[in-house]
Amino acid sequence: VQILLKLWRNGFSLDDGELRSYSDPVNAQFLESVKRGEIPVELQRLVHGGQVNLDMEDHQEQEYVKPRLRFKAFSGEGQKLGSLTPEIVSTPSSPEEEDKSILNAPVLIDDSMPATKIQIRLADGSRLIQRFNETHRIKDIRDFIIQSRPAFAMTDFVLVTTYPNKELTDESLTLREADILNTVILQQLK
C-alpha cells in the first residue's frame, strides 16, 4: 500500500485526508513511530500485515489547505425506477449482430416503399432491431417477435411505446398510423 504523509505547519495529513493535530496524543504516537523508522500500528492494521510504502512531503512552511476533491465518475450500475422499460440482463448487441438480425429477418421489405427501423426490447432483456415498411401493421411486429423468439409464441404479451407510454392495442394499425416510425417498442408480459 502506498501512503503519502504530508507534514504541515499546523499538523499532518495522510494522502489527501483530514488534518491531524500534532498535539493529539494518538497523532504524536503515530509520528514517533515514523521517526523511529517503524510502521505505525494504525497503518499495520490498515494493510493487515502487508507491505507499506510511506512517502513523506515537507510542507511545514505552509498552513494546511483542504485539497479539492477530484472528480470521480460514477462507475456503478443504474436502475430506472417506475419505468416500463424491462431490466436489461444482457449486454447490448454489437452493430454486426444488429445487422445480422436485420439480414436474417423473416419480414419481407418492399424497397420501393418507405421503410423504418424499429427496436424491440423484449421482456427477457434482449433486443431486436428490424426494418419494416411504414405500411406494415403492429400485428407484423408481434409476428416478427414470435418468429424470432419462438418461446414467446405461447406467452401472452402486449407491445408498449416508450415515453409517452402507450399500449398498442389496435394491431390492425400501420406503423405510420400508430406513429411509431423509428422508435423503441417494449414487450411486456401479461
Q: What is the pLDDT of residues 80-115, one digit of tens each?
A: 665 555 554 544 555 555 444 444 557 888 889 889
Spatial CA neighbour of 93 closest among 67, 125, 66: 125
Predicted pLDDT at 32: 92
Strand, coil or helix: what is 36?
Answer: coil
Q: Could you tell me how many residues make up the chain? A: 190
Question: Cα dist. 133→114, 139, 154 in Å?
Answer: 6, 13, 27
Confidence grade of residue 164 (pLDDT, cut at 50, 70, 90): confident
Look up residue 3 and give its DSSP letter: E
Spatial CA neighbour of 120 closest among 150, 158, 172: 158
Q: What is the pLDDT of residues 36-70, one digit of tens each?
A: 988 888 888 877 777 888 888 998 898 888 877 66
Domain range 2-58, its CATH number among 3.30.420.210, 1.10.3720.10, 3.40.50.300, 3.60.15.10: 3.30.420.210
Predicted pLDDT at 51: 82
- Grid coordinates of 20: 491531524
Predicted pLDDT at 50: 78
Answer yes or no: are the C-beta atoms of 3 and 55 closer than 8 Å. yes
Reported in sequence order, the residue ranges of 42-114 that DSSP labels E, i.e. its strands, are 53-59
Q: What is the pLDDT of residues 133-151, one digit of tens each?
A: 989 998 998 898 888 888 8
Spatial CA neighbour of 130 closest among 118, 138, 114: 118
CATH number for the domain running over 115-189: 3.10.20.90
Fold identical between 2-58 and 115-189? no
Answer yes or no: are the C-beta atoms of 3 and 52 closer than 8 Å. yes
Q: Residue ranges per domain, the chain?
A: 2-58, 115-189
Strand, coil or helix: what is 18?
Answer: coil
Answer yes or no: are the C-beta atoms of 157 and 180 closer than 8 Å. no
Look up residue 177 and give its DSSP letter: T
The predicted model gives 159-186 an average pLDDT of 87
